[in-house]
Structure 1
């Protein structure tokens, strides 16, 4: 436990340092935030640092090593120091403006840092009861990270399809590798620390957004500081821990997963609570679909793109809200002044020479938005598109609210801003996109009419028979009913009191979230899964919908609390009590999901195992575990190693995943997805089988030369998979460099 504690403190100290280095930038871009965007300095730091390493590695200008990574960080530090801290017109900015900001905001900054540390420790502690990098997508995620760690340049090699590079969105895995390399934490530990950090960043970043949403409307009304913290915590809870109404099934007789029934049609059996409830069902409730949400992701612990991207998602939303705040703050100032000749808005940041022109927006801010959107695309492609859409909506509504544009449709400057945004987005994705080949094969229309099915395809649009899945309304309400109960309460409140233009940002979030929920009821992106053809489309869209609705819900509840506190005459008291009668049980239902999920996955938190994610191998595959340790200590670079090929979500691919050494073929279905067709990985299945089983030396040598195989691995799974395994030929063309019980590694000598 002491060793784990030191690893956690090491990781935290690195993130603390990164946040401090980038804090002057968040002061710049979050001028009206109550906390000056402190927590987002950490997220911005890992984005900029990782992208710099990625860009230099892709251009083959700087190899990815620990020394080079630290050197780049020092260059960034010096640049920020000289630009924002050291000299500004012969004045010490650190002594003056930044010092004043820190002196004014030190309490909230310290509070958020402590909150970050506490939540980091909290989830690391939870993870220590089930740290295994095993099951679901973990072999893939860990393999990506290990491949990147062994890479000098990019793109990183695909461990399961030598000699090609990864054809998937792996920037989040690169971020993990960068932090792993700089901190010098072993990857089997850093995997779990990264998950814990993502949890922590999500909680505190959501707290910051929730707090600032309330701070924005409370400035003139001078609400108590308690409401800001309440708003922050309730928002953080919804985003990080919130479930859905599916938890109510814990009190009813279990249903068939193939044919889910409304709970009111099932027998009420409260005595089954909590043992009868299977928590993954809340993410697979609508048949043949996936609709996950963050707490499920934290529990099952896949370090996958949609999880790695959450901090960048929250950074984007925070940046857009900062723009939104600044726009209305400036409009408020303009209303108090006489005519102003120059319409350049500075927001009390003259010392940084930061003029945020609304509209057009400051060029550097548009570039930053394009950069973060590019980061999201390279981490989880759907998110890039989703938040590009959200950005368009925010800019559009600000355009329409601007005084000089009220009587116009859209201005030239607006389109110029959009062009700059898209151009910067494309530019920053280039180091990734020039090597990436998209594997979606079209956009399918659900329940297409017969005449379109006969046509089959028009451009990218597909019209396929037997592709007519829709979600019953009652199931959608089980999944999202809590949010829309609050949404309708919100609209009733603002209709009754008076619409506040400052509510517009939350209204935009609600609107985009609702659109995302209904898109997979109309169309789907074509992939390789025949029965689950809309599963991935729904998954990627509603995951972001859940986050945005959670952020909105924290704001809505805080507004209702304020409404309730502003005098409780008889009529209002009745309204509030009636609302609470519904809200309290609804809130309890969505709040108990973590109880089921955490206890189920982590064994009721009974056996502490530590943060070592590969230690399980010592029990499950002891010989493999020793071989993996030996490989990681003695084999450098990325020579090709032959191991048994197998199906996805099995234990095959364990050697390549745990070492980062590429093999001929790993998880077949994954490669089928990434390469776009089964025809590409299919021939390799027989080649691997032939290589293990043939006695023909010529055939063996031909395949070895074709894939430049340097090592042959023979272990328990290889012997199980290939019953006719012929080891004699390997003795002729290689030598044993590792042997333990029945496990051997041959080094090829041709």
Structure 2
């Protein structure tokens, strides 16, 4: 753990000159983002070195990354003489120390959260086994792109760059796979805290740029920054509070009217709350539902808050109060928020990319308020390269984030250009487009190896009639589709209400055109009547951006308007359209885009609170309206983290058996399995191919490949390999064929057929362990032993080496 922490401190220190160069005109000089920026630079150099086959992803390429970062820092520092450098150190060392202490504190809290996480500190539950495989692939692949350890012979076809970022620290510190998993999550939490606190304090400092910042004002800014970190990263949505009030974990499944009904009953003391049976839906066909909500019990239910929305799915026969009737089944929509992600501890791309998204927001802020016009072709190639590095990195780490935060950066450029060009001409517009195009080009060039080896699995091959025959619409229909369901108003209030209260209060104080607010109210009323309340975010986005354009001020107020307007536009767009994928519904789109909106609105809310309360604004009587409501929602948002961390209500507080090494404390990786994997790692070539039972997604399969770094023929073929390979015909065919071939290996009745399958799939070792014994109870092991030699046997595990 100490070596890991020292590694990230080293990277952050080496990146200080680069960070201060990029953010030098901002309060704080970008110290908050030096770790994320430095880690990105080192990771990109190491990744590119591996892609160019200079070495594997190891000490050589990571060492080159450190040298490259140090050289870049030395290069950008050259214009400064020794006196100015020492003066900068004397001025900013207290802030640097404060950020270091903040990171260390949150890093340690992150480790403790892993010990008390939803599934403890081990790699088991949900998609952690898959994520550990991706870490293993990044760290163990002899060549790049990383080998897919669950589909031998193919490279990873996923957004894997976030795993590369964390693997840099694994290589530097010598951490094991299990330690990498747990320390990686703690690192993401620390970097996210630095990013949020840095953004909020910087925005507050810009708000007071014209004032001499006294010690009291600096303390107020620091307090706001910490509060912003809590607001965005550690508060939850309101579903947790509703669970507590209604005393039922099923409140997340209810419609708007049902939630209002049971909440009113709970306020009146009616417990348990009841519903009209005619309005009930069933999540799955045939599951009985009762008009009386089931009580929650002694332990808090941690999962429902991440599924705040349930869409209608299809009409089916359901059972309500032991009576059959027709009703609608439901489809859950993922509505994660950062603290749930940290508590669940899935190292998924949307979590790994958080530091990069905050770095992209910081770059957009820096470009928006910088004092001089940007002319990339003539002046700042370094800033062009870093912008491309960050935005391209977002695509490689979590492709959903690149368009959103790329647009935000482009809007920052628009704001900067607009401040210097009050009356834009056609030539000005073309010049701006060229600058945006250069950033896109830089991102594409820097990540070209990823673009050439990654096949996006978004989109479908068919479009429903009558749209298929319509030009353009038919092509777009393969990628996008209209949403058949919409978020309810209680869904939106439960998810975003905490942020919207101060934002609306600040907007109403800043924008005093009553006609605009009357129009917004009318749109909201129409949306409520039509069952599409999210439509109200469209006029909010228009108001924010129109006001920012008319003010034409490159200040933090205008940047806040841009951020809020972008978040509002995201919410309304995904209420009407979704990106088509293998699931072909809006679940993934809402999940990923609402996560982005949470971050943007959270930052906007913190800035709004500062605008509402700073400079004697706290004396206004209108604060008596929004502050109590905000306080109520803040209390509701804190119900979730307090409940899951309170030993008396937490569903997982018992940390007995928890270890820093997530593999050792995992139910998914038994000790005999770890011994077999260790033997494979020590005694077989790195490109050896294993035959193992493919297992089932979220349950078992692929463990030995993950631990040993030796690829297996197939694992998790359903919603994982099947999804990743949906747009790769050859690989997709292998996913289907190998399921039959693996069965043929274990259940073979003809020795010639067995030899043919083993040779065709180039299998080097066949594993006979608990998973295989369970999956193939009729296996013909005697026939297998005629073509393969037993090379390992211990604790119900046997490994056979296929004879040449």
TM-score normalised by structure 1 residue count: 0.87
Is 1:458 the counterpart of 2:481? The answer is: no
- Deviation track 1:256-286 (CA, whole Å, cap 9, x = no partner) reads 6654454321141889788464232222121
- Deviation track 1:266-311 (CA, whole Å, cap 9, x = no partner) reads 1418897884642322221211321211111101111111111000
- Deviation track 1:593-644 (CA, whole Å, cap 9, x = no partner) reads 2123445777225536221111235797342232233334444513111110
CA distance in 2, matches of 1:71, 1:32: 30
Instruction: Please state how far the C-alpha of 1:104 moved relative to its aligned partner.
Output: 0.5
Unaligned runs of 5+ in 2: 272-294, 311-330, 514-546
Change (3 A) 1:148 1:591: same
Instruction: Please state how far the C-alpha of 1:395 moved relative to its aligned partner.
Output: 1.7
| Map of 2:99 onto structure 1 | 112
Instruction: Please state how far the C-alpha of 1:217 moved relative to its aligned partner.
Output: 1.1
Instruction: Please state how far the C-alpha of 1:495 moved relative to its aligned partner.
Output: 3.2
2:121 maps to which of 82, 106, 131? 131
Query: Residue 290 of structure 1 contacts residue 538 of structure 1 at CA under 8 Å; is this kept in 2?
Result: yes
2:260 maps to which of 248, 260, 264? 264
Query: Residue 243 of structure 1 contacts residue 594 of structure 1 at CA under 8 Å; is this kept in 2?
Result: yes
| Map of 2:455 onto structure 1 | 437
| Map of 1:536 onto structure 2 | 588
Query: Residue 405 of structure 1 contacts residue 411 of structure 1 at CA under 8 Å; is this kept in 2?
Result: no
Instruction: Please state how far the C-alpha of 1:475 moved relative to its aligned partner.
Output: 1.7
Query: Residue 146 of structure 1 contacts residue 660 of structure 1 at CA under 8 Å; is this kept in 2?
Result: yes
Change (3 A) 1:122 1:31: same
| Map of 2:572 onto structure 1 | 518
2:175 maps to which of 155, 180, 185? 185
| Map of 1:609 onto structure 2 | 658
Query: Residue 766 of structure 2 contacts residue 799 of structure 2 at CA under 8 Å; is this kept in 1?
Result: yes
Query: Residue 735 of structure 1 contacts residue 746 of structure 1 at CA under 8 Å; is this kept in 2?
Result: yes
Change (3 A) 1:307 1:466: closer
Query: Residue 689 of structure 2 contacts residue 764 of structure 2 at CA under 8 Å; is this kept in 1?
Result: yes
1:280 maps to which of 303, 318, 321? 303
Query: Residue 30 of structure 1 contacts residue 37 of structure 1 at CA under 8 Å; is this kept in 2?
Result: yes
| Map of 2:89 onto structure 1 | 102
Unaligned runs of 5+ in 1: 1-6, 331-344, 346-355
Instruction: Please state how far the C-alpha of 1:659 moved relative to its aligned partner.
Output: 2.5
CA distance in 2, matches of 1:466, 1:426: 30
Is 1:314 the counterpart of 2:368? The answer is: no
CA distance in 1, matches of 2:645, 2:84: 45
Query: Residue 617 of structure 1 contacts residue 625 of structure 1 at CA under 8 Å; is this kept in 2?
Result: no
Instruction: Please state how far the C-alpha of 1:237 moved relative to its aligned partner.
Output: 1.1
Query: Residue 290 of structure 1 contacts residue 536 of structure 1 at CA under 8 Å; is this kept in 2?
Result: yes
CA distance in 2, matches of 1:640, 1:60: 21
- Deviation track 1:554-577 (CA, whole Å, cap 9, x = no partner) reads 1111222215x4573xxx3x3222
2:367 maps to which of 323, 346, 354? 323
3-state SS, counterpart of residue 164 of structure 1: coil
3-state SS, counterpart of residue 302 of structure 1: coil
| Map of 1:415 onto structure 2 | 433
TM-score normalised by structure 2 residue count: 0.82
Query: Residue 360 of structure 1 contacts residue 413 of structure 1 at CA under 8 Å; is this kept in 2?
Result: no
Query: Residue 641 of structure 1 contacts residue 711 of structure 1 at CA under 8 Å; is this kept in 2?
Result: yes
Stretch of structure 1 that moved more, 605-614 or 456-465 = 456-465
CA distance in 1, matches of 2:479, 2:705: 40
Stretch of structure 1 that moved more, 450-459 or 622-631 = 450-459
Query: Residue 444 of structure 1 contacts residue 463 of structure 1 at CA under 8 Å; is this kept in 2?
Result: no
CA distance in 2, matches of 1:464, 1:171: 25
CA distance in 1, matches of 2:650, 2:334: 19
CA distance in 2, matches of 1:40, 1:315: 7
CA distance in 2, matches of 1:745, 1:154: 28
2:609 maps to which of 557, 568, 577? 557
| Map of 2:155 onto structure 1 | 165
Change (3 A) 1:251 1:650: same
How many residue pairs align between the two structures?
701
| Map of 1:693 onto structure 2 | 747
Is 1:508 the counterpart of 2:552? The answer is: no
Stretch of structure 1 that moved more, 601-610 or 634-643 = 601-610
| Map of 2:245 onto structure 1 | 251
CA distance in 2, matches of 1:443, 1:539: 23
CA distance in 2, matches of 1:442, 1:394: 34
Instruction: Please state how far the C-alpha of 1:453 moved relative to its aligned partner.
Output: 7.3
CA distance in 2, matches of 1:137, 1:729: 36
Change (3 A) 1:704 1:664: same
Instruction: Please state how far the C-alpha of 1:459 moved relative to its aligned partner.
Output: 1.3
